[in-house]
Structure 1
Amino acid sequence: MATAGKVIKCKAAVAWEPNKPLVIEEVEVAPPQANEIRFKVVATAVCHSDLYHLFESMPKDGFPAVLGHEAAGIVESVGPGVTEFQPGDKVIPIFLSQCKECRFCKSPKTNQCDLAWINPEALVGAESRFTCKGKKVLQFAGTSTFSEYTVINQIAVAKIDPAAPLEKVCLIGCGICTGYGAAVNTAKVEPGSTCAVFGLGAVGLAAVMGCKAAGAKRIIAVDLNPDKAEKAKVLGATDFVNPKDHNKPIHEVLAGMTNGGVDYSVECVGNVEVMRSAFESCMPAWGVSVIVGWTELNDVAIRPTHLISGRTWKGSLFGGFKSKDGVTKMVKAYLDKKLQLDEFITHNMTLDQVNDAIELMKHSKCVLDQFSV
């Protein structure tokens, strides 16, 4: 392409400081360096993790930054050493890399990677390819998709089927894999089992979908927002429970509904009290509870006897998928009509409306806002 090897000037939503609206700016995106690709972001979604780091946890020295990590686009150019990609390829960036060479990537026991951006201190990196008004703008989670163009290491990009609609499959780069895989890969939900999913944002709804795909007989969706009930049932939930409708702890409510507890629970809120409730909702003798929601704000505690009796407590990152392989697999499942995505998109917006999208998510007025870039 004519832009290969040159700096590209384009629009991006820049977070100049925490707890402030993003600002649409003209940024300069440098050419990709060794083992990197530069691609045009066609569609990206707002994930609650972006809000979490903007408003709750990102250190002040993590700004200015370009947020965004759930996207899909088309390769514009590649740097030296890149052999897997070429201009014109459709791709999905992933915050969790898969180098395929490290001890983690070679192990079937984990989906983590030695080179991944999973350390909270490394959520923004010095090797950013963005500048704005003469100042370096940091890159968030190795992706930074709230921009018309971005640069990313090839180990954190998945090449996908050319037939894939980018405005739909962009959701696979985070929330869909995270929730769906938590049920299928991490919890390993079994046919005929009973499940509970706590929190019905995009990740929780994807977990509901994963429980259904795994053959669960009963799927109890738990959320404080009654507006989420219908969407959960569309994706496979058999029951909806609002904790505010009951005068006793939710784990006692679920135990009463299931003759002692669910076989599997998946926590998708990022709240330590909910994590404990989800755990205690499991059948004491064999229940499996999976923590998916991200938080660093508090410690979570449990009574040892609740573990000794036979429950298992697990964590799940990106749904246990080996990232590049998993994304490719999930895109194929969507194209084969074995995975629902359209139902997750509640608003279609432009990059200029990113702050409106954030407000909708902050006030639980959407599942996922997808916007064209």
Structure 2
Amino acid sequence: MNSTLPNRQVKPIHVLLVEDNIVEARLLQEMLRDSKVSTFEVTRVERLAEAVETAKNDRFDVILLDLSLPDASGIETFRRLHHAVDRTPIVVLTGLEDETIALTALQEGAQDYLTKQFADIHVIDRAVRYAVQRKQAEAERLELIRAQDEQARELLVEQAARREAEKANELKMRFLAMISHELRTPLSSIKGFVSTLLADDVEWDLETQQNFLRIIEQEADKLTELVEQLLDLARLEAGTLRIEAEAHSLEKIFELAAPQLVVVTSEHKLEIAPVSQLPAVLADPLRIAQVLVNLVNNAAQSAPAGTVITIEAHARAGQIQIDVRDEGRGIPEDLRPFVFEAFRQGQDNVSKGKGMGLGLAICKGIVEAHGGSIWVGENEGPGAVISFTLPVAVEEPA
């Protein structure tokens, strides 16, 4: 039941009156209509269920709620309505005998309460207006807190992004310094031996000349390897590294890697478990051979001379898992998340005089480009184990 009360030059206050007693309801409506201060538009319902439905469908500035209704009574009347429309201020209407319940409602979120026997137009007008104002003030306060929280979150995100950018820039500068060092060292060696060979004031015997040339060749190979690693890393980051994946047996891939594996494990014992019974993998054999060599070379740098480096493989859920295990010092738990990051790994390795350490970052990129994954595994004994997976080929290898 809607009643539009006389227009005044103010924005009307929309009131939902929840009162089943028709006499008391009319009295309240008449008092609101006679207000000289505010303009009220009143919608009346008689039951709590109607109040919940009406309040959800229409926007009201305030609800006047009688606590004794046909379908609810006592404090539960308030609780159910407040739970359904917690953003709308509620003023409780009560009799003399219900003031204790009304005070409980105030503690639980009601804006005010009115004792019907003592309510007049001035009391009702003031209670309704104050309830609306308090609710608006509370909403503004919560909005201000929300805005401050959002601003604080944005500031935290900005600070975190700035720290990450500064960290990335620092790592980049370290990386550039490491590259300069790694390029300068072999170049200085090459220049030094060439200058020595070209010197006019001394003659070198054939054996010494050949020894100098072998050193020059070795340093040139180091430069070539470094440049190739940097190019591979750049291609991986740009997504342009070519991967020609076809069905191949692990035996074939291991055969491709064998010559280099022999070189990098010249001071270690390399053991390769049989793989002839395993299914073929979908892989680029040259790239996966490169992964194997990098992993074994990394193990050889970490493990003492004379210790065993093992390569094992086994099938698991449509994939082949390959493990490279050594008997070195292992990888500390706190460093494992950074093992496959080129810049961090490079910093660690350079400080130990073992090169840029780009190999593991390249391994990660190549394996993931094949649809596999790579990680630091748990080793039962001393040393470290790095594992990676490759998808099993659907077709048999050619």
TM-score (norm 1): 0.19
TM-score (norm 2): 0.19
Structure with greater proportional strand content: 1
Structure with greater proportional helix content: 2
Report which structure shows greater RCO (CA 8 Å, sep ≥6).
Answer: 1
Query: Which structure has the greater CA radius of gyration?
Result: 2
